[in-house]
Amino acid sequence: MSAREERRRLAYRWLRRGISKAEVPRRLEVSWTAVQKWEKRRLADGPSSWREHKHPGPYRRLTAEQRKKLQKLRLEGARGHGYETDLWTLKRKAEVIQDEFGVKYTDSGAWRLLRDMGFSAQVPLPRALERDQRCIASG
């Protein structure tokens, strides 16, 4: 049982016993409006309504098949999708998702999707284009 559930359970018990709505928030160190909401909920939904309710998140906009295809598309590199460099940015990923699957994501939405799929943010190390490997090796 979570601490929030325990507080509500105690509040329900005390309210049933006749402890005032002013005393319950003082004992539990919560706001008076919270206790008022709990009392309304208790009267409307019954004595076990102190339990946490599941709060489902947003539905997945890409199917499992589309997610697998997205992983394969990532391996083709950004150049394979018409970009000048092979660097994947969130904007590029969001554009590819929209082009391939017809689903529009913001940059932050694309990041949440990719993070959920197990990807991490990685930035390539900057290297000079004129780099002289022989000079570096003898250094």
Whole-prediction pTM value? Answer: 0.51
20-24, 54-58, 101-105: least confidently modelled range = 54-58
Q: Is residue 92 part of a domain?
A: yes
Average pLDDT over residues 55-73: 87
In a domain, 126, yes or no: no
**Greater model confidence, 111 or 137:** 111
| Cα distance from N-terminal residue to C-terminal residue, the chain | 63
Greatest CA span in the chain, whole angstroms? 85
Q: How far apart are CA 70 and CA 58, in angstroms?
A: 20
What is the CB neighbour count within 10 angstroms for residue 39?
A: 15
Question: What is the average per-residue pLDDT within 57-68?
Answer: 88
Domain limits at 81? 64-116
pLDDT at 92 over 90: yes
Considering the domain boundaries, does residue 138 fall inside one? no
Distance of CA 21 to the CA centre of its chain: 36
Residue-level pLDDT at 139 = 62
Is residue 31 domain-resident? yes
Does some domain include residue 54?
Answer: no
Residue type, 37: K
Whether 22 maps to a domain, the answer reads: yes
